[in-house]
Structure 1
Amino acid sequence: MSVLALAFMQRALVAALLSGLMSPAVGTYVVQRRLSLLGDGLGHVAIAGVGLALVTGWAPTPVAIIICVIGAVAIELARQSGKAPADVGLAILFYGGLATGVLMAGISGRGTGVLSQYLFGSLTTVNFSDVIVVAVMAVVIVALCLGLAPQLFAVCADEDYARSQGLPVRALELCIVVMASVTVGVSMRTVGLLLVSAMMVVPAAAANNLVTGFHRSLLTSMGIGLAVSAVGVIGSYYWNTASGATIVVSAIVVFMVSAPVGSWLNRRRSLMSADDPIVRAASGHDPCGRTRVAAGARGVRHVQHGDHVDHLPTTDSGVPAEVPDP
């Protein structure tokens, strides 16, 4: 029987693909901000939300998302005000959320065993309403990540520069942590709260190995997330393994392969740039001591510099003259 002929596997695959698209999109900004452990901290806060849901009898996913957002916003505001360093804030997220969740699970009388499906994911138990929630949140998160890409990247790369350009830095920083919180809460049924951080970080890191440029990295990380999610869900069915763990291990394998491939691609780009006379002219330096620029090049002045020739851009027009070798 084909795996896709089973209704529960269809729901599991759709939910995993949506999470695989959403998590790296947010994770790209998290990695840029050097907050790779943020997902772990938010995952522990979501455990507190699950514990609260067990005590009150409410639906776990919405409660976990709300608690996650409140905790993340509180820590981010404290960090921005200088009242709590980033590492202290993450520590509070880690230990406070985990302890509160376990405590509430005990109060509910259901013990800590019920938390396992949220800690490690339970794709096969995803129902149609869960898929709808994941789909709606994925559309919102991906739209924000792509639509606000220039502003969010500016904040992640250089807060001072972004502030000098008139960008609402605090609001954009809050936007990132809120999107990360929603992603963690939504993905707890797919890869689990303990593993969702890996899906936010590993595809983004693998994409950084393979491509250059922020937008390429963002799109590549989302593609990797989709691929490893599909492989993880289908592979877990045939290998009889946990779906969340299989997805994360697949992502790590991609990262391990991307490291040597990325090194080879970087060397190839360097060689291509070194052989391009226009690139040498634009850089103003010819390490090989060559005396000519590509035919028809304009606005370049040749200056003898020791044992080589520098090609300096100028405002002059016309074909530059040849400079003799020393």
Structure 2
Amino acid sequence: MFQQIQESLQYAFIQRAIIAGCFMAVGCSFLGVFLVLRRFSLIGDGLAHVSFAGVALGLFFNSQPMLISIPLVSLASLVILKLNEKAAVYGDAAIGLVSSFSIALGVIIASTSGGFNVDLFSYLFGNILSVSKLEVWLTIVISSLVAVVTIFFYHDLFSITFDEEHARVSGVNVKLVNKILILLTSFIIVLGIKIAGTMLVSSLIILPPISALQVARSFRSVIILSSIFAVISVITGIFVSYIFNLPSGATIIMINFIIFVKLFLYGRIRA
């Protein structure tokens, strides 16, 4: 097996997958911690459904799906935020409203363009081993942006995560910070669909943070451990999927889940 891993590292597509996957893992982990603790983690699932409509549109017009999905998903994230703030529609209901519309739109577009072809199937369930150089660079840029913005707004994000009203009274621009958080999430979701697919990408945001929460003793350690667990699951998942010829996205998520189960049991035993 070790020989197979060494052999796989000689291939450019494996190298691209590891680079893109690691950056994506860190980006998802940084955002996931805040979203999970605010009980807004299902925003990832809702925006993933929106990205499905974006991918269908891109394939329908024979253009790069990610370039269409990014503005579409960003707009949808702002709509969800606005519904939550102004229309008295609670977060989960707003997410469900937008995601159900997007899934229906995507299915109609897909059926109009001749059904669910191989390209659309790969976006549904992910194929990190087929990421292009452009997608690698986009992942590096967006994930680095997520890390920089998260560090810059760390105290504001920390404040609104645990007490939004207190943060508002303390002078934090809650609306601006919420918009930044939701827009960054939309960017990372679009990039993640090539790695885990629209059906599984939200798991990259949810699983590493809740795994870290089982053992972490401070908020910063949750972010650090979440990133470590995510990177481990991506690298291990790539090699396992290559060696055993398994779907890469699903394999990465399964390893994430295994890490969570082990840490959950460890936490219960330690308690």
* TM-score grouping bracket, smaller chain normalisation: over 0.9
Does structure 1 residue 112 correspond to structure 2 residue 116? yes
Matches within 5 A, 1:279-298: none
Q: Quick check: 1:46–1:67 contact (8 Å CA) kept in 2? A: yes
CA contact (8 A) 2:122 2:194 kept: yes
Does residue 1:25 correspond to 2:30, yes or no? yes
2: CA distance, partners of 1:102 / 1:264: 46
Corresponding position of 1:239:
244
Which ranges of structure 1 fall in alignment gaps of 5 or more residues?
Answer: 268-326
Q: Deviations over 1:128-185 (max 9, x none)?
A: 1111111111110111122212111211211101001100001111111111111110
CA distance in 2, matches of 1:87, 1:253: 27
Match of 1:78 among 75, 83, 96: 83
Aligned to 1:93: 98
Among 143, 148, 168, the alignment partner of 1:138 is 143
Partner secondary structure for residue 210 of structure 1: coil
Partner of 1:164: 169
TM-score (norm 1): 0.78
In the alignment, residue 112 of structure 1 is paired with which amino acid?
Answer: F
Deviation, structure 1 residue 14: 1.2
The separation in 2 between residues aligned to 1:256 and 1:220, in whole angstroms, is 15
Deviations 1:229-255 (A, max 9, x none): 000001111111011111000000000
The 5 Å alignment of 1:132-281 reads 132-265=137-270, 267=271
Where does structure 2 lack aligned partners over 5 or more consecutive residues? Answer: none
Partner AA of 2:176 in structure 1: A
Deviation at 1:264, TM superposition (A): 4.6
**Range moving further from structure 2, 67-76 or 7-16:** 7-16
Equivalent pairs counted in the alignment come to 265
**Does structure 1 conserve the Cα–Cα contact (< 8 Å) formed by 2:42 and 2:92?**
no
**CA RMSD after TM alignment:** 1.3
Give the CA deviation at 1:36. 2.2
Q: Give the Cα separation in 2 of the matches to 1:62 and 1:150.
A: 32
Q: Percent identity, aligned pairs only?
A: 27
Matched, 1:124 2:129: yes
Larger displacement relative to structure 2 (76-85 or 207-216): 76-85
Equivalent position SS for 2:198:
coil
Residue of structure 1 aligned with 2:73, choices 49, 68, 71: 68
Instruction: State the Cα deviation string for residues 162-209 of structure 1 (Å, max 9, x = none).
Output: 001100001111111111111110111111111111110110001000
More helix by share: 2
- Give the whole-Å Cα distance in 1 for the aligned partners of 2:217 and 2:152: 20
User: Is residue 16 of structure 2 the alignment partner of residue 11 of structure 1?
Assistant: yes
CA-to-aligned-CA distance 1:9-52 (integer Å, 9 cap, x gap): 11111111111111111111110110121111000000111122
Say which one has the larger Rg. Answer: 1
Matched with 1:299 is: none
Q: Is the 8 A contact 2:215 2:267 kept in 1?
A: yes
